[in-house]
Structure 1
Amino acid sequence: MRTPAIRVVIAMLVAGALLAPRPAAAQNGGSQVVPQDELRSIAPNVYLDCERRVCDFNYIKTEITFVNYVLDRQSADVQVIVTRQQTGSGGNEYTLAFLGLKRHAGKDATLKYYSKPTDTEDQFRRGLVNVLKQGLIPYVYDTPLAEFISISYAQKQDHRPTPASDPWHYWVFGLGVRGNGEFEDQAERYSYTVNASANRTTEAIKLRFYAGLNYNHRRYEIPDEEPIISISKRKNASVSIFKSIDGHWSWGGTVSVSSSTYDNARLFSSIGPAVEFNIFPYADATRRELRLQYRAGLTLRDYYEITVYGKEKENLFYQALQAVLEIKEPWGSIGASVQGSTFIPDVKYNNLRADLGVYVNLFKGFSFNVGGRYSRIRDQLSLPGREYTPEEILLELKRLASGYYLSFEVGFNYRFGSIYSNVVNPRFGNM
C-alpha cells in the first residue's frame, strides 16, 4: 500500500506462530511462559469475507499465522471485508474493511491496496497480504502475541503518480487478440476476437474508447448430406464520456456503432446523453450504492433482412431508466437492479428487466443464497420477417422471438464442527 511519499513495511516474526509444535513462548522479558494452547486461544479469530477469485486463502494462511481463521462471522473477533473496483490504469483498488467484533467492537479500520495491470499473481497476492497484515496488527498488540511481532519502517520515493508526474496523463491503451479452436473428424469449431481500447480516468472525468471484432466459425459433417457450416460475426465501437458533478451526481453520454449477424444488424448507430444520481456518496461505493440512471438518445438502424414489421431501415428514439442497488455488509451482500426501456413515442415496444443476487449468513454456520434474472420482452423490432431454418435455431445463429426470459438459482450451506480453518495441506490439490 502506498502513501504519497513513504511505504511502510511490516514484518511479522511470530516465532513459529500458533501452529508450530513448540512447547512454550516467553513474554514480559521471559518472566512468564505462555503455553502453546494458550497462544492459540488468545489469538484473534478472523473471518475473511473475500471472493476466492480475489483472495488466495492457502497463501494467506501460510503467510499470516498469528491469527485463527474461522468459517463464519459469528465465531469471529475480526471480520475483514475485501471489495474491489477497477482503476483507470486497468489495475484494481482493493478496499479492506476491518470490523472489530465482540471484545474488539468499535475497533474498525479501512485500508486500501492498489494493484497494477501488469502485476503477476504472486506480486498481487504479496501486496494484498502485506496490507492485510497491517490491518490485523491492532487486534494483536494487546495480547502476548505482541512479543513476537517486529515492525520495520522503510522510506521510498515510490508513490502514485499525479498528473504533473505522469507522462501519459492517466491515458491507458490496450490491444488484445484471442482465439481458440476445436477439431475432430466430423466437426470443426474456431473463433477469434480482436479489440482495442483507450481509457482515461480521473476523479473528475472518465473517457472510454473501445472497438472490437468477434468471428465464430462452425462446420459439421453429416453422412450422405451436405456439411452444415455456420458463421457469425459481431463488430462494435463506442466512445463514452462521464463527468462528476459532486459526490452524488454525474452525467455524460455515449456514441456507438455495431454490426451483428445474430441480431440482424447490418449497421446500428446510436447517440445519447445520460445522467446518474447515487443516493449514497460515491465514496462509499465499495460498501453500498443505490444508483438511479436515466439514458435517452437516437438510434439509426440498417438491417440485413427485412424485419417482421417490414422495415429495411428505421430511425428510433429511445429512453431507459435503471436503478442499481449494491450492499456489502458483515451479514452478507445484496446486488439488485431494475431497468425499463422503451422506444419513443411507441412505448408499447418496451423491455423490463430485473436482476437479483443475495447472499446472507443467517446464523452460525448457515448461509443462504438466491439469484436470478427476469426479462419481459416487447422490443424485438429487428427480428427477420421469415421462418428460421433448423440449423439457424439449433446452432443459435439468430435471435429467437420470445416474450420473456427467466433464470434463477437458489442454495444453502450449513457447516458445523470445528470453527477453525488454519491448516493448509496441498497434497492432491483441492480434492
Structure 2
Amino acid sequence: MQKLVLWLAIWCCLHGQSYAQNTTQNEPITVFLDCNTCDSDYFRTEVPFVQYVIDRSAADLHVLFTSAQTGSGGQSWNIDFIGQKRMNGRKNGLRFNTESTATKDEIRQAQVRYLKVGLLPYILETSTFDHVTIGYSATQNTTEVPIEKPDKWNKWTFSLTGGGSLNAQSIYSDRTIMVSANADRTTDRWKTGAGVYFRKQVNKVTINNTPRTYTQESQNVYGRAVYSLAPLWSLKLYSGFTRSTYENYDAQFSVSPSIEYSIFPYSESTKRSLKFQVGPEFAATQYLQKTVFGKLQENTWGQVSKLIMQWQQPWGNINGSITASNLLNDPKKNRFSVGGNVEWRVVKGLNLVMGGYASRIRDQINLVPEVGEDEILLRNKLLATNFEYQTFVQIRYTFGSLKNNIVNTRFDESGFFIYGF
C-alpha cells in the first residue's frame, strides 16, 4: 500500500511538471520594451507574437535599446535581450546602424527587423514558433562577394540648416532667423569638425503708444580636432570666434586644448561612461561696451575641469556632469556647476524621475554697468547673478492590466508643434 501511494505521488509530480511546462510553452513570452524613442504602437502591430507588459519585473524578457551617434551623423543601435523569469540567465545582444538620412519610418522598420531576429532564440521554446515564417529577400546576386564601394566623401559629412519663426500680438512681435553649417569627419583615430552659426532675434514692443525695437544677435565660428591617444586617453584642440550682443562680445577669439581619460572602454559608451576632462583656455575679447570693471578689451587665461557620467542599465539610467572653471590670474573669478537626471524603476510599477542643474557663478567679467528695465524684462542682456538653478521631480506609478497588445489610435490627438531657435 505504501509503495502504491509512493508511485502515485511520483507520477502526479512528473505529470504535473510536464503539464506546467506544456502550459508555459503554450503561452507567448512576455516582453518589457525599454526604448524611449521607439514607436510602441508600431512595435505592437508589427511584432504581435509576444505579450507586451508595462512592468519590467513581470516580463520574461527585458529588451533594452540604446544608441550613439556615428561619424556620419547616423545612429549605432544596441539591443540587449535580458532574460528573466522563465528566460532567466539567457542574455543576447544585437547591433545595427541607421543612416543620417533615414526617416523615422525607416528607423522604426530597422528596429522592428532586428527585434524580430533577436526574439527568435527565445520563442523557439514556445508554441509561438509554430506560427512563425522566416523569409529571405535577395537584393543582389548572392554568389557574388559584396565589395565595399570607395567613399568619395572620405568620411566627411556636411549639414546646412536654416529657418525662422514669427510670433506677433497687438503690442508685441518677435522675429527670429537662424542659419548654420557644419562639417565633420570621424575615424577610429581622429574626430574633426568645423562650423558656423548665425542667429538674429528682433523684438518689437509698444509701451504707452511708443514703439520700441530690441535686437539680439549672435555669431559663432569654431573648429575642433580630437585624437585617440590611447585606449582610454584622448586629446582635443578647440578654437572659436564669437560675437554676441547678449553677452557683450564684439569679438572673442578662444583656444582651449584639453585631455580626457575614460574609466570604461569607449566601446561601452552606450551603456556606461565615466570621463574626466581638464585643460587650459585662452580668450582674447573685445567688448561692445565697457564692462563693470571698466575694460573694453582684455586677454584671459583660465582652466576648465569636467566629470561626465552616463549610465543606462535595466533598472534605469543616470546622466550627470560636474564642471569647475576659474581664471588663472584671478582664481576668485570662478564657476562651479553640477547637473544631471535620474530615471529609476524603484519597485514594480513605480518610477522616479528627477533632475536639474545648479551653478555658483563668480566669473561674469563681461557684464555691462547698466541694463534698462525693458532689456531686463525681455532678457535681452546678460544679467548679474551669483547663482542659477533649475530642477524637476516626477513620480509615476502604473498599475492595473499588465498585458494588453491592442492598438487603438482613434481620436489620438498628436496636435502640432513649433520649432524654436
Structure 2-normalised TM-score? 0.89
Q: Where does 1:117-136 land on structure 2 (aligned, <5 Å)?
A: 117-136=100-119
Match of 1:331 among 308, 315, 324: 315
Q: Deviations over 1:92-124 (max 9, x none)?
A: 112111111122122212212211122122111
Q: Cα distance 1:157–1:328, how it changes in 2: closer, same or farther (>3 A)?
A: farther
Offset of residue 39 of structure 1: 8.8
More divergent stretch after superposition (326-335 vs 144-153): 144-153
Who is 1:366 aligned against? 350
How far, CA to CA, are the matches of 2:93 and 2:121 in structure 1?
Answer: 12
Who is 2:298 aligned against? 314
Q: Is the 8 A contact 1:83 1:286 kept in 2?
A: yes
Who is 1:69 aligned against? 52
Q: Is the 8 A contact 1:104 1:139 kept in 2?
A: yes
Give unmatched runs, 5+ long, in structure 2. 1-22, 415-421
Amino acid at match of 2:221: A
Who is 2:35 aligned against? 50
Who is 2:159 aligned against? 174
How far, CA to CA, are the matches of 1:421 and 1:398 in structure 2?
Answer: 53
Q: Where does 1:189-200 land on structure 2 (aligned, <5 Å)?
A: 189-200=174-185
Q: Where does 1:158-237 land on structure 2 (aligned, <5 Å)?
A: 165-224=150-209, 226-237=210-221
Offset of residue 195 of structure 1: 0.6
Who is 2:17 aligned against? none
How far, CA to CA, are the matches of 1:160 and 1:84 in structure 2?
Answer: 27
Give unmatched runs, 5+ long, in structure 1. 1-37
Who is 2:5 aligned against? none
How far, CA to CA, are the matches of 2:168 and 2:24 in structure 1?
Answer: 59
Offset of residue 187 of structure 1: 2.4
Q: Is the 8 A contact 1:249 1:276 kept in 2?
A: yes
Which protein is bigger by CA-based radius of gyration? 2
Amino acid at match of 2:391: F
Offset of residue 246 of structure 1: 2.6
How far, CA to CA, are the matches of 2:155 and 2:364 in structure 1?
Answer: 40
**Does 1:151 find its partner at 2:142?**
no
**Does 1:410 find its partner at 2:393?**
yes
Offset of residue 155 of structure 1: 4.9
Offset of residue 161 of structure 1: 9.2
How far, CA to CA, are the matches of 1:330 and 1:202 in structure 2?
Answer: 30
Q: Is the 8 A contact 1:39 1:145 kept in 2?
A: no
Offset of residue 331 of structure 1: 0.8
Q: Is the 8 A contact 2:26 2:127 kept in 1?
A: no
Amino acid at match of 2:314: P
Q: Cα distance 1:301–1:272, how it changes in 2: closer, same or farther (>3 A)?
A: same
How far, CA to CA, are the matches of 2:403 and 2:279 in structure 1?
Answer: 49
Who is 1:342 aligned against? 326
Offset of residue 80 of structure 1: 1.2
Q: Is the 8 A contact 1:182 1:188 kept in 2?
A: yes
Q: Deviations over 1:199-219 (max 9, x none)?
A: 001111101101000000111
User: Alignment RMSD, CA only?
Assistant: 2.1
**Does 1:96 find its partner at 2:88?**
no
Q: Deviations over 1:170-209 (max 9, x none)?
A: 0011111111112333322111101111100111110110
Q: Cα distance 1:430–1:423, how it changes in 2: closer, same or farther (>3 A)?
A: farther
Structure 1-normalised TM-score? 0.87
Offset of residue 278 of structure 1: 0.6
Amino acid at match of 2:196: A
Q: Deviations over 1:342-369 (max 9, x none)?
A: 1112111100000121111111111111
Q: Cα distance 1:41–1:423, how it changes in 2: closer, same or farther (>3 A)?
A: farther
Q: Deviations over 1:305-343 (max 9, x none)?
A: 111111111001111110011111111111111110111
**Does 1:380 find its partner at 2:380?**
no
Q: Where does 1:240-319 land on structure 2 (aligned, <5 Å)?
A: 240-319=224-303
How far, CA to CA, are the matches of 2:25 and 2:376 in structure 1?
Answer: 62
How far, CA to CA, are the matches of 1:424 and 1:152 in structure 2?
Answer: 26
How far, CA to CA, are the matches of 2:223 and 2:147 in structure 1?
Answer: 26
Q: Is the 8 A contact 2:25 2:126 kept in 1?
A: no
Secondary structure at the aligned position of 1:98 is classed as strand
Q: Is the 8 A contact 1:40 1:68 kept in 2?
A: no
How far, CA to CA, are the matches of 2:229 and 2:380 in structure 1?
Answer: 43
Q: Is the 8 A contact 1:39 1:144 kept in 2?
A: no
Secondary structure at the aligned position of 1:327 is classed as strand
Who is 1:6 aligned against? none
Q: Is the 8 A contact 1:239 1:255 kept in 2?
A: yes
Number of equivalenced pairs? 391
Amino acid at match of 2:195: Y
Who is 1:139 aligned against? 122
Offset of residue 222 of structure 1: 2.9
Secondary structure at the aligned position of 2:41 is classed as helix
Higher helix share: 2
Offset of residue 77 of structure 1: 0.9
Q: Cα distance 1:127–1:379, how it changes in 2: closer, same or farther (>3 A)?
A: same
Amino acid at match of 1:316: T
Q: Where does 1:21-36 land on structure 2 (aligned, <5 Å)?
A: none
Offset of residue 253 of structure 1: 0.6
How far, CA to CA, are the matches of 2:140 and 2:292 in structure 1?
Answer: 65
Q: Is the 8 A contact 1:89 1:172 kept in 2?
A: yes
How far, CA to CA, are the matches of 2:45 and 2:61 in structure 1?
Answer: 19
Who is 2:339 aligned against? 355
Q: Is the 8 A contact 1:247 1:283 kept in 2?
A: no
How far, CA to CA, are the matches of 1:187 and 1:310 in structure 2?
Answer: 35
Who is 1:390 aligned against? 373
Offset of residue 160 of structure 1: 11
